[in-house]
Amino acid sequence: MSLAPGNQWINRASMIIVVFSHFEYDCIVKERLYYLFDTGMATAFLILRATELGLVAHPIAGFDEAAVKKTLEIPNNVRVISLIIIGKKSQKIHPELTDLMKTTEINRPGRFPLKKFAFINKYNQSILE
Ligand SMILES: Cc1cc2nc3c(=O)[nH]c(=O)nc-3n(C[C@H](O)[C@H](O)[C@H](O)COP(=O)(O)O)c2cc1C
């Protein structure tokens, strides 16, 4: 089993997209590896497009990378970064969802406040002060 317990979306999902990459697929500038940055950008657009099509797309990190690679015969030097669980939005909240999932289906999860990560001039100098 490749999925961590608690990822109940998977049970009724129409499709799982496996997002993978390799550090040599993108540029390395002074030891800064850009493949994760670009994979994240591509994934974000994929999620936006799925949403535009009226679907629901949940990225997850709760999976066993070795098991995913074995099942799909993905080479060892390639990293599986995320699985995107895609499905149609249900009109009802399914009982098999975890309590947390049920809650976040109704109220979107909180986001970090802007002042926690957006600074001006110097790190930790709040943009809002
Ligand atoms: C990188 C990443 C990994 C995630 N991994 C999991 C996961 O393993 N299990 C899970 O239930 N939700 C996971 N989530 C959260 C859901 O995909 C989703 O973001 C959450 O339900 C909130 O939805 P929203 O961000 O569209 O508001 C992850 C989110 C991100 C960005």
pLDDT one-digit tens code per residue, 90-104: 888 888 888 888 898
Supply the pTM of this predicted model: 0.90
**Average pLDDT score, the chain:** 92
Pocket test for ligand 1, best of 58, 80, 102 (most atoms within 8 A of CB): 58
Which residues have C-beta within 8 Å of that of residue 101, sequence separation ≥ 6? 8, 9
11 lines ligand 1 (CB under 6 A): no
Closest CA to 68 of 22, 21, 18: 18
Nearest alpha-carbon partner for 83 in 20, 11, 6, 1: 20
Q: Is the model more confident about 73 or about 7?
A: 73
Share of the chain above pLDDT 90, in %: 70
Ligand 1 centroid to Cα of residue 37, in Å, is: 17
CB 94 within 8 A of CB 101: no
Per-residue pLDDT tens over the stretch 9-46: 888 899 999 999 999 999 999 999 999 999 999 999 99
Element (H, E) at 101: helix 99-106
**Does residue 5 have its Cβ closer than 6 Å to ligand 1?**
no
Q: Which residues pair with 57 in a beta bridge?
A: 86
